[in-house]
Amino acid sequence: MAQQENEVLKVDGDGYVVDTEDCEARELAHRERGTARPITVVGNPVLHRECKDVTEFGPELAQLIDDMFASQRAAEGVGLAANQIGVDQKVFVYDCPDDEGVRHVGVVVNPELVDLPAERRILDDSNEGCLSVPTAYASLARPDYAEVTGQDAQGNPIKVRGTGYFARCLQHETDHLHGFLYIDKLSKRDRKDALRQMAEGTPRYETVPND
Ligand SMILES: [Zn+2]
């Protein structure tokens, strides 16, 4: 049995968590304590409704977070929401580079996206994919900067911010926990195309079959 570290990340001068330090060691510690679980895919009801708020910040949550890091690594993801392993709780983890290639590793419980002023909303139409829509990708315009408020694994209030691909990840994972997939934001035609890509592809990780 491994010692559960009471990990609390530092905050920077503006009050945002510093999630760029000791990434290798922190990610490894989580996934070594965790067990990878199969990934739910589009059509599974747990992905299409808002998850429950987390109210208990104990060992069960710590274990869930460890399992999520293990699952994220097994599926080669850069972010994972709890409902993607079938758990109806507002938690996401991430291991994702920003627009300067800097790696961010962390967890957000009960996340909410911060509404940004129009001048901060510079849209980036890069490709997006999702472990729950395996083998599909589509271009989707999203702001290239994002901020999320929420709590850490101990229940302390936190703020996370990100640029580039990491900004996309923060938005994508928060959307998951509110019951939305990125394909829900696509045009009808692009959504259909993404589902076709999924039907034609074979995921490189274990998924939960839909009934
Ligand atoms: Zn996703």
Considering the domain delimited by 23-203, tell me its CATH architecture.
Alpha-Beta Complex (3.90)
Cβ atoms of 150 and 2 closer than 8 Å? no
Which positions ≥6 away from 40 have C-beta within 8 Å? 46, 47, 83, 84, 85, 86, 132, 207, 208
Measure 197 CA to ligand 1 centroid, in angstroms. 15
96: three-class secondary structure by DSSP: strand
pLDDT digits (tens, 9 = 90+) for 160-211: 999 999 999 999 999 999 999 999 999 999 999 999 999 999 999 999 999 8
Measure 131 CA to ligand 1 centroid, in angstroms. 5
What's the whole-number mean pLDDT along residues 136-164? Answer: 97
Which residues are part of the catalytic machinery? Answer: 173
Measure 3 CA to ligand 1 centroid, in angstroms. 30
Tokens 């920003």 locate to 98
pLDDT digits (tens, 9 = 90+) for 18-69: 999 999 999 999 999 999 999 999 999 999 999 999 999 999 999 999 999 9
Number of Cβ within 10 Å of residue 165's Cβ equals 19
pTM confidence score: 0.95
Measure 64 CA to ligand 1 centroid, in angstroms. 17
Could you give the CA distance from residue 35 to residue 177 in angstroms, rounded to a whole number? Answer: 21
Measure 13 CA to ligand 1 centroid, in angstroms. 31
135 Rama sector, left if φ>0, alpha if ψ -120 to 50, beta otherwise: left
Mean pLDDT for all residues in the chain: 95
| Residue set of the binding site | 130, 172, 176
Q: How many CA atoms lie within 13 A of 140 on its CB side?
A: 25
Cβ atoms of 186 and 198 closer than 8 Å? no
| Residue set of the binding site for Fe cation | 130, 172, 176
Beta strands in 114-187 (DSSP E): 123-124, 127-129, 137-139, 142-143, 145-151, 157-163
What's the whole-number mean pLDDT along residues 115-143? Answer: 94
Residue 11 DSSP class: B
Query: Which residue pairs from 26-32 have beta carbons closer than 8 angstroms and sit at least 24 positions apart in sequence?
Result: 26/105, 27/69, 27/73, 27/95, 27/105, 29/2, 29/5, 30/65, 30/66, 30/69, 30/70, 30/93, 31/66, 31/69, 31/70, 31/72, 31/73, 32/2
Could you give the CA distance from residue 208 to residue 162 in angstroms, rounded to a whole number? Answer: 31
Domain ranges of the chain: 23-203
